[in-house]
Amino acid sequence: MVVMKHLGRAAGSEVMAAVVLLRHVRNAVLALVALAGGCASDPAMESASAGDCVRSDEAVAATPLAPIRTFLEEGAPHELAARSFGSLIRPQQVATSPGAVFVADIGLRRILRVDPVRSTFVPLLFLEERPAGLAVDRMQTLYVAFPGSRRVVQVRADGQVTGVFQDPAGRYVPVDVAVSEAGRIFVADQINARVLVFNRLGQVVDSIGERGDRPNPFASVDALWFDGIDLYVLDATGRKVFLIGGGGRSRLIALDEPVGLPIAIAADRWQRVFIADRASGKVIVYDPASPAPSGPLVGMPAVQDLADIWIDDFDVLHVADAATASVLLYRIASPCQ
């Protein structure tokens, strides 16, 4: 079994912060999501916030919200008169932090930050190459994985690059990234089927699944998710998801027939695991607390070019749909208590 040395240190403070945040700003942020999509009076939004839930023997369902397609681009604060309308072209990656949505659009060759209060986008970073993974912390510091140049870039909220994470040995192809509030940056190294763990100074402090020095549980490492307690590792080749927690705890989920080509992973606060399946264009849900078999997320039609997914703290699933040049939003039903 895989053992993670450093996750346990962060678990207590992160869980407490998440609980406080969920108690005090849940309803406010749901309203902001509606505003960002221009759907403050949308019946779908009203029904989505009405407290729908899913029984343990039912498939997980979702209600669509207004997608993000058109945006209002702005420059510096003193240049607000220069705003102009535009649209997404080919969104490839998406990540969220309280109060902001980040979209890597390879058509625009930009990473954009959405302000849900004013329904505007701000260009954050010019993309000289195609990114493969995106993560953001609660301070809106962004981490972008670039497999071509073999680096992960740390970007401050104002767009300044403040750090670069590379393997000192040079044998490193980062395809995804996840971040802990305790200062651990987890990087999926696809070529070596491992997860490298960096501190905020860019130093490698741990490695999970290293080839050559111990049996490697991973056939491949393709995507990551960190929920404040557990690190989720998507092994697409081995058709597994590893859940690695503090104190050496680990669990395993075997991907079954509904998943054809898994490309991204996310989990909600009930530890339901969501797998983006490019083959079917659907999101497959695994609920460890439910006797119901895994299956597609109910209420979400197949996406022609499913590129990435992200679940925020307020049960909204973000789906990057490169074919329709949009980020689709779905309110996920909670388990019935």
Cα distance between residue 82 and residue 73, in whole Å:
9
Say if domain 7-335 classifies as CATH 1.10.260.40.
Answer: no
- Residue 8 is predicted with a pLDDT of 42
- Residue 75 is predicted with a pLDDT of 53
CA 6-268-283 angle, 5° bins: 120
- Residue 121 is predicted with a pLDDT of 84
Tens digit of each residue's pLDDT, the chain (337 residues): 433 333 443 343 343 334 333 333 343 444 333 433 433 333 333 333 434 798 888 899 999 999 998 777 765 444 444 455 678 999 999 999 988 999 999 999 999 998 877 778 889 999 999 999 999 998 999 999 999 999 999 999 889 999 999 988 878 999 999 999 888 999 999 999 999 999 999 999 999 987 555 678 899 999 999 999 899 999 999 999 999 986 556 788 888 877 899 999 999 999 999 999 999 999 999 998 888 889 999 999 999 999 999 999 999 999 999 999 999 999 999 998 7
For a pLDDT cut of 90, what percent of the chain falls above it? 58
Half-sphere exposure of 109 (CA within 13 A, CB side): 4
- Report yes or no: 285 and 300 within 8 Å, Cβ to Cβ: no
- Residue 78 is predicted with a pLDDT of 45
- Residue 246 is predicted with a pLDDT of 65
Amino acid found at 100:
A
- Residue 32 is predicted with a pLDDT of 39
